[in-house]
């Protein structure tokens, strides 16, 4: 068992059953184990809790600035500089009420109705959802769901006169790859050569397992940086999903102003709660010891899950290089993944996400997505239920 904050007895089941929505504890019968939405089952880092408590007790909750609190913007800029080698000014950082909202703002800025975006397939549904909300359509860049290899040779064939945006998810949800500098160079050069903007989603960039290393796309060259809107959020590394907080780094002063306009934050019709920004500042400045312990725990949970799934005949699984989701291929079992998930829920009492087009695109078919950001005890029980059922299919 992992000691400290990630020990078996540290999972606050009562609170999770009241507060963890989005396919998790609060939405399922009490005997079901959710290995669904990528959201940790642990209380957040103590310095974040303290910062929230201090701010809450201070009693002043006035409007914040549209672009985000100055301390938030400088903490985020310093954090990406220190941890990702990404040198940006605080003035390039826009506070957003989640990475998801940041993706929408970028899509609404770069896509006019009828325009097109190239996105990975499979990838998190938010890429398609953001592009479509802006009135655009997606063209799918195939990713081999078994190996996580991106079919980079397919890129030129996806280009049309209406292509405006390239979506990059690094590390990749759900296939768990961490993009190599070579892959990123090809994607970045393609964007530069074809005047595309890049929706560069780095929300998973802290969840990378040794020996793999994260490279931030805009660090490759000034020309590539000039095309990138980089999105980060505090849900995955720090468990702040319910506080809805993240940021977007705009490439230039001008694009920053345009992004702020489309975000509607200037009107106060959108924007991030100052309390959430205070939590995020604490994460950036004082959350890394906790996050380091979380990553060590996750490394063990990843290995546990991969080992258990590898032992099931007919299931193929690869250890993710990043993210805390595992993406086993179950196509050889001969059951459609939606139906398999229904049976897992009703019969085996474990919930996982089907590799369905509505979640990840058509390239996810034949897979399941299993989240491992829980305790060893919960995961062991969940995996036992999952693998017992898969053996019987």
Which residues would be at the binding site for ligand PLP (CB under 6 A)?
38, 98-100, 124, 126, 169, 173, 201, 203, 233, 235, 241, 246
Q: Looking at beta carbons only, is 231 or 386 nearer to ligand PLP?
A: 231
Q: Looking at beta carbons only, is 124 or 321 nearer to ligand PLP?
A: 124
Query: Shortest distance, CB of residue 174 to ligand PLP, whole angstroms?
Result: 8
Q: What is the C-alpha separation between 190 and 334, in angstroms, rounded?
A: 38
Query: Shortest distance, CB of residue 378 to ligand PLP, whole angstroms?
Result: 19
Query: Shortest distance, CB of residue 22 to ligand PLP, whole angstroms?
Result: 9
Q: How many Cα atoms within 13 Å fall on the side-chain side of residue 76? A: 31
Q: Looking at beta carbons only, is 126 or 143 nearer to ligand PLP?
A: 126
Q: Looking at beta carbons only, is 220 or 272 nearer to ligand PLP?
A: 272
For residue 1, the surrounding DSSP H or E stretch is none
Query: Shortest distance, CB of residue 124 to ligand PLP, whole angstroms?
Result: 4
Q: What is the C-alpha separation between 8 and 219, in angstroms, rounded?
A: 39
Alpha-helix runs per DSSP H in the chain? 13-19, 46-58, 70-84, 99-110, 126-133, 155-158, 181-193, 222-225, 235-238, 253-263, 274-286, 288-310, 337-343, 357-360, 376-392
Q: Looking at beta carbons only, is 121 or 201 nearer to ligand PLP?
A: 201
Query: Shortest distance, CB of residue 83 to ligand PLP, whole angstroms?
Result: 17
The b/e string for 175-210 (b: 16+ C-beta within 10 A; e otherwise) is: bbbbbeeebbbbbbebbbeeebbbbbbbbbbbbbbe
Our CA angle for 121, 324, 299, nearest 5°, is: 135
Query: Shortest distance, CB of residue 7 to ligand PLP, whole angstroms?
Result: 25
Residue nearest to ligand PLP (CB): 233
* End-to-end CA, the chain: 31
Q: Looking at beta carbons only, is 38 or 77 nearer to ligand PLP?
A: 38
Q: What is the C-alpha separation between 132 and 130, in angstroms, rounded?
A: 6
């Amino acid at each position: 068992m992992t000691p400290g904050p990630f020990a078996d007895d540290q999972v606050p089941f009562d609170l999770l059953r009241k507060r963890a929505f989005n396919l998790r504890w609060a939405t399922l019968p009490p005997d079901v184990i959710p290995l669904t939405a990528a959201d940790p089952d642990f209380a957040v880092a103590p310095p974040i809790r303290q910062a929230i408590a201090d701010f809450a007790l201070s009693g002043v909750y006035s409007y914040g600035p549209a672009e985000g609190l100055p301390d938030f913007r400088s903490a985020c800029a310093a954090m990406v500089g220190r941890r990702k080698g990404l040198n940006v000014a605080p003035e390039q950082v826009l506070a957003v009420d989640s990475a998801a909202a940041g993706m929408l703002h970028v899509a609404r800025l770069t896509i006019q109705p009828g325009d097109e975006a190239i996105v990975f397939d499979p990838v998190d549904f938010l890429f398609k959802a953001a592009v479509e909300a802006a009135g655009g359509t997606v063209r799918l860049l195939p990713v081999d769901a078994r190996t996580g290899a991106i079919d980079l040779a397919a890129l030129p064939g996806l280009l049309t006169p209406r292509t405006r945006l390239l979506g990059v998810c690094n590390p990749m949800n759900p296939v768990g790859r961490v993009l190599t500098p070579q892959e990123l160079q090809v994607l970045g050069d393609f964007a530069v050569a074809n005047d595309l903007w890049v929706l560069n989603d780095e929300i998973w960039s802290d969840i990378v397992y040794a020996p793999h290393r994260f490279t931030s796309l805009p660090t490759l060259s000034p020309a590539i940086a000039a095309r990138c809107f980089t999105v980060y959020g505090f849900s995955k590394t720090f468990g702040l999903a319910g506080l809805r907080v993240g940021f977007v780094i705009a490439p230039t002063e001008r694009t920053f102003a345009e992004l702020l306009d489309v975000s509607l934050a200037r009107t106060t019709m959108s924007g991030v709660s100052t309390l959430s920004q205070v939590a995020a500042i604490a994460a950036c400045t004082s959350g890394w010891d906790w996050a380091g312990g979380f990553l060590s725990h996750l490394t063990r949970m990843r290995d546990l899950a991969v080992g258990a799934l590898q032992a099931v005949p007919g299931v193929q699984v690869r250890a993710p290089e990043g993210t805390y989701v595992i993406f086993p291929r179950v196509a050889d079992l001969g059951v459609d993944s939606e139906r398999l998930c229904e049976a897992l829920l009703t019969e085996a009492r474990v919930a996982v996400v089907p590799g369905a087009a509505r979640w990840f695109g058509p390239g996810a078919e034949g897979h399941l997505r299993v989240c491992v950001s829980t305790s060893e005890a919960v995961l062991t029980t969940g995996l036992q239920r999952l693998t017992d059922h898969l053996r019987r299919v």
